[in-house]
Structure 1
Amino acid sequence: MERPNAPSHKASPSVVRYGVVGGLGAIGSADVLLKTVRAAQYCKPPGGVDIAFEQRHFDDGPGIAAEAYDPLRRKFYVYNVLKDMQGKVENAMVPCFLSHTFLAEITPEISFNVVDIFDALLARIRRDYPEVRKIGVLTSSYVRASGIFEQRFGEPEATQDGSLATAGGLEVIYPDATLQRDALMQAIYGPSGIKSGHHGGECLQLLLEACDDLVSQGAEIIVPGLSEIPVLMESLQPLVPVPLLDSNLIYAEYALGVDRERENRNFKLGVLGGVGPAATVDFMRKVVSLTRAERDQDHLKMVVEQNPQIPDRTANLIGKGEDPSIPMLATCQRLEADGANAIAIPCNTAHAFVARIQPYIGIPIINMLTAVVDHIAAMQTPVTRVGLLATSGTVTSRVYHDIIEASGRETLVPDARCQTQVMEAIYGHHGVKAGHTTGECSEHLQAAISHLLARGADVIILGCTELPLIELDAALRERVALLDPAEILAQRCVALAQAEA
């Protein structure tokens, strides 16, 4: 599946757009923004960098300095700001260590890359301090209690030859509990602290006391885990006998050089539904049943727009019905905006319109018809004649004919009388779209299958996604392979998700 070139209304791909989530500490966020702007001058992509800074009023109150701080409001703030950036940036920065303790809950719901501050720090430690084994950390009491530094720095990381990487497996050291409370937290959150606008004097002395304690414990480098501390780098570093990392600058430089593709993101399938409604539900059930899973979290993420108001595809193809192209495109664009990696359309006839809309979206539409023909080619018994039972719109459009015949096979369709029966089985008062799966619709479909068998069909495509919902005699099913395009599409979607993983 090749992605088409982006249409002219999209932003130039050579300009990389960044968003910085502010408001989580105004001073620290502003420092990250300033250092990002400066860093962009010497490590920007060829087309340039756009940087958007989003800061809204957000006040956590004094409780943020406590180990028992509740980050719920902050979590919703970060999620809402990132969600509003969707479609406007390719990369976002969250310059707040506390927010990175819960960021993994948010990033699966965001369709662009959120740069990980711990990845940035580990990359710098690997590069500049490969022999270091003990790092001192200056962070909030809540972040300290969360254990995230131990989780991200303490786990050994294997290299390609099986040995341990130089970063990972690090010992994390914090200030003495009393200094944590009375020195470090006061230096940031106290009345003479950085958050109150003080950049020297008492707050500098308190930070120095915390640093000295880390050095006495054997810290070889010190990592600020609060975005406010690097604001005092020029004053603090000359007083500390070990390297003090500028975590804000490291974060900015890493973000500007980070891979633009989304990394380690869960695959999300977009489903253009409602064409028809029952077929959409059936398709989702098939995706679930075909996924190997031992728990809920092993299943595919799906975002579905069930839009039965999309005009009837057959009515447009065989008559003067309204064109469904724009409603289909709008639905696909909403699925893309919601973070889908690819789109499935569980409707055979709708594929007659896919070529029109694919150039205007940046993610692929998985072609159900191509998947069906690929499935036929992989069958053990050679197939030369393919029977097709579908809406008159699908038959008239020849979307199946063209793909089947390009594969060197013949397409067989019912004669006019039998095609009328197929349409009755789908659209009739007692048809499947009216909610029926037995009786008259079953009789019509069985007659059409027998008709194609008599003409020499080796396999038969049930080329309307509602047709497989109709009950058939077991003896008839044994006579010929009846292909369910929705099931084949579901198989293709599951395989794509596994390949992405």
Structure 2
Amino acid sequence: MRKLGLIGGMSWVSTASYYTRINSAVQKRLGGFASAHLLIESVNFSDYARLQSDDDWDAAAGLMTRSAKRLENSGATAIMICSNAMHKIYDRVQPEVGIPIIHIADCVGDKIVADGVKTATLLGSRNVMTEGFYRKRLVAKGITLTPPDEARVEEIDRIIYQELMFNQAKRESERTMKTYITNIAKGDVEAVILGCTELDLIIDTKANILPIYDSTENHADAAVEWILSDG
């Protein structure tokens, strides 16, 4: 079993989901008392939130790099950043360590391509939905993404940062997301991507009008494959 490093705390809510899903899958695959060999660097997201607000991504990359190096020095064979939005600094962090950082958008894109899906709508925080760092990785795999809807962007970003990151799953927000997905399904689109590791708190990924690709799920499943592979 290979040792995997997780950079978590962004938020702690979704990091707990990663831990549960990875260990449940490893135990199911190996049986008995098996659990994953994980290292977790759980950061204080307040530090990142402040830098994000100040648009100081260089400083954020410095913090992330130090976390990644600590995991590498502790024996991790690969790293995962347990956040979609913080992959904005992936290209600044990956060159600073000698082990792979498994990109969350690649895991989502590979699953979508394997299923033969060509068009999707990306939902997540503002920077994930509107900036190129995430969208371009999906487009490079041949996936056509619908343009972001500005009103939808603002409301989903609010829900994420004012509710979900505090582990609050409100019925009103569940209804809002259900309405969004219903309206998305009326267009020429085959699937919805949850590009936020907390959105599964208010979206039933198994019972929706369109197929839902949950980035947390896809990333955690890739973690299991890494841990159990021979290298």
- Fold match (TM-score > 0.5): yes
Moved >6 Å (runs of 4+) = none
Taking the aligned partners of 1:454 and 1:407, their CA distance within structure 2 comes to 24
Alignment match, 1:406: 140
Task: Tell me if the contact between 1:280 and 1:346 (Cα under 8 Å) persists in the aligned partners.
Answer: yes
Alignment match, 2:179: 447
SS of 1:340 mapped into structure 2: coil
Evaluate the alpha carbon distance shift between residue 473 and residue 404 of structure 1 in structure 2; reply closer, same or farther with a 3 A threshold: closer
Alignment match, 1:290: 25
Taking the aligned partners of 2:66 and 2:180, their CA distance within structure 1 comes to 36
5 Å-filtered alignment, 1:264-303, equals 266-291=1-26, 292-296=29-33, 298-303=34-39
Evaluate the alpha carbon distance shift between residue 473 and residue 372 of structure 1 in structure 2; reply closer, same or farther with a 3 A threshold: closer
Evaluate the alpha carbon distance shift between residue 358 and residue 473 of structure 1 in structure 2; reply closer, same or farther with a 3 A threshold: closer
Deviation at 1:438, TM superposition (A): 2.9
Deviation at 1:473, TM superposition (A): 9.4
Alignment match, 2:125: 391
Deviation at 1:471, TM superposition (A): 4.6
Task: Tell me if the contact between 1:385 and 1:410 (Cα under 8 Å) persists in the aligned partners.
Answer: yes
Select 1:459's aligned residue among 191, 211, 216.
191
Evaluate the alpha carbon distance shift between residue 376 and residue 329 of structure 1 in structure 2; reply closer, same or farther with a 3 A threshold: same
Alignment match, 2:75: 339
Task: Tell me if the contact between 1:425 and 1:440 (Cα under 8 Å) persists in the aligned partners.
Answer: no
Aligned partner of 2:211: which letter? A
Alignment match, 2:219: 489
Deviation at 1:416, TM superposition (A): 1.1
TM value normalised by structure 1: 0.43
SS of 1:311 mapped into structure 2: helix
Evaluate the alpha carbon distance shift between residue 484 and residue 447 of structure 1 in structure 2; reply closer, same or farther with a 3 A threshold: same
Deviation at 1:287, TM superposition (A): 0.5
Deviation at 1:278, TM superposition (A): 0.5
Evaluate the alpha carbon distance shift between residue 499 and residue 300 of structure 1 in structure 2; reply closer, same or farther with a 3 A threshold: same
Aligned partner of 1:288: which letter? N
Structure 1, gaps ≥5 residues long = 1-265
Task: Tell me if the contact between 1:271 and 1:302 (Cα under 8 Å) persists in the aligned partners.
Answer: yes
Task: Tell me if the contact between 2:177 and 2:203 (Cα under 8 Å) persists in the aligned partners.
Answer: no
Taking the aligned partners of 1:436 and 1:454, their CA distance within structure 2 comes to 29
SS of 1:497 mapped into structure 2: helix
Task: Tell me if the contact between 1:389 and 1:448 (Cα under 8 Å) persists in the aligned partners.
Answer: no
Deviation at 1:300, TM superposition (A): 1.8
5 Å-filtered alignment, 1:210-359, equals 266-291=1-26, 292-296=29-33, 298-309=34-45, 310-312=47-49, 316=52, 320-323=54-57, 324-359=60-95
Taking the aligned partners of 2:48 and 2:143, their CA distance within structure 1 comes to 32
TM value normalised by structure 2: 0.89
Deviation at 1:468, TM superposition (A): 1.0
Evaluate the alpha carbon distance shift between residue 281 and residue 413 of structure 1 in structure 2; reply closer, same or farther with a 3 A threshold: farther
Q: Percent identity?
A: 26
Taking the aligned partners of 2:199 and 2:173, their CA distance within structure 1 comes to 9
Deviation at 1:306, TM superposition (A): 1.1
Per-residue CA deviations over 1:64-118 (Å, capped at 9, x if unaligned) read: xxxxxxxxxxxxxxxxxxxxxxxxxxxxxxxxxxxxxxxxxxxxxxxxxxxxxxx
Taking the aligned partners of 1:443 and 1:425, their CA distance within structure 2 comes to 12
Aligned partner of 1:385: which letter? T
Taking the aligned partners of 1:478 and 1:394, their CA distance within structure 2 comes to 22
Per-residue CA deviations over 1:40-63 (Å, capped at 9, x if unaligned) read: xxxxxxxxxxxxxxxxxxxxxxxx
SS of 2:208 mapped into structure 1: helix
Deviation at 1:472, TM superposition (A): 4.2
Deviation at 1:373, TM superposition (A): 0.5
Evaluate the alpha carbon distance shift between residue 320 and residue 451 of structure 1 in structure 2; reply closer, same or farther with a 3 A threshold: farther
Count of residue pairs brought into register by the alignment: 226
Alignment match, 1:367: 103
Aligned partner of 2:32: which letter? R
Larger gyration radius, structure 1 or structure 2: 1
Task: Tell me if the contact between 2:139 and 2:145 (Cα under 8 Å) persists in the aligned partners.
Answer: yes
Deviation at 1:456, TM superposition (A): 2.3
Deviation at 1:413, TM superposition (A): 4.2
Task: Tell me if the contact between 1:422 and 1:448 (Cα under 8 Å) persists in the aligned partners.
Answer: no
Structure 2, gaps ≥5 residues long = none
Taking the aligned partners of 1:473 and 1:331, their CA distance within structure 2 comes to 31
Select 2:150's aligned residue among 408, 416, 420.
416
